Amino acid sequence: MTGWVLQAVLIAQVVGSGGMFGVIWVIQLVHYPLMRKVPVEAFRAFEEEHQRRITTVVGPLMALEGLSVLAVFFLRPTCLSFAIVLAGGLVEAVAIGTTAFVSAPMHGRMAASGRPDLLDRLITTNWIRTAAWTARAGLAIAMLAICR
């Protein structure tokens, strides 16, 4: 992978990872803590609406990021070391894995039960995703800078 295709993939990776970096920090520091203010009787409906709305924001970003991470991983541009490509793939796996196996099920339990007390566990475990997407954004920017 060389030339304009490589640049397009690396820019897409920065857009996807950078977008998720911004979203996850707003979620972690603003949105999730504010969920504590939702009255218990409204919590279930709020959680269901949160899930519906957040998907429209993170779905396209995660798809763009995931596809570009896979492209970089499998097409291995010669300008990038295997170590940085592997690191990028591993932190992406942590972010997506934590989303799929921890955060999404926790949101599902909160919506089904209407139990806001589960929020503390969500906030604590979300630090894993926050760290992973922070690392992903840094690695994506580094890869773009290296291959310029």
Q: What angle do CA 43, 47, 48 make, to 5 degrees?
A: 120
Residues 122/24, Cβ–Cβ less than 8 Å: no
Radius of gyration over alpha carbons of the chain, in Å? 17
What is the spatial distance between Cα 16 and Cα 8, in angstroms, rounded to a whole number?
A: 12
Question: Which domain covers residue 30, as residue numbers?
Answer: 3-146
Q: Determine if residue 39 is left, alpha or beta; phi over 0 gives left, psi from -120 to 50 gives alpha, anything else beta.
A: beta
Residuewise pLDDT in 10s, the chain (148 residues): 668 999 999 999 999 999 999 999 999 999 999 999 999 899 999 999 999 999 999 999 999 999 999 999 998 899 999 999 999 999 999 999 999 999 999 999 998 988 888 999 999 999 999 999 999 999 999 999 999 8
Q: How far is CA 116 from the centre of its chain?
A: 23
The pTM score is 0.93
* Domain count for the chain: 1
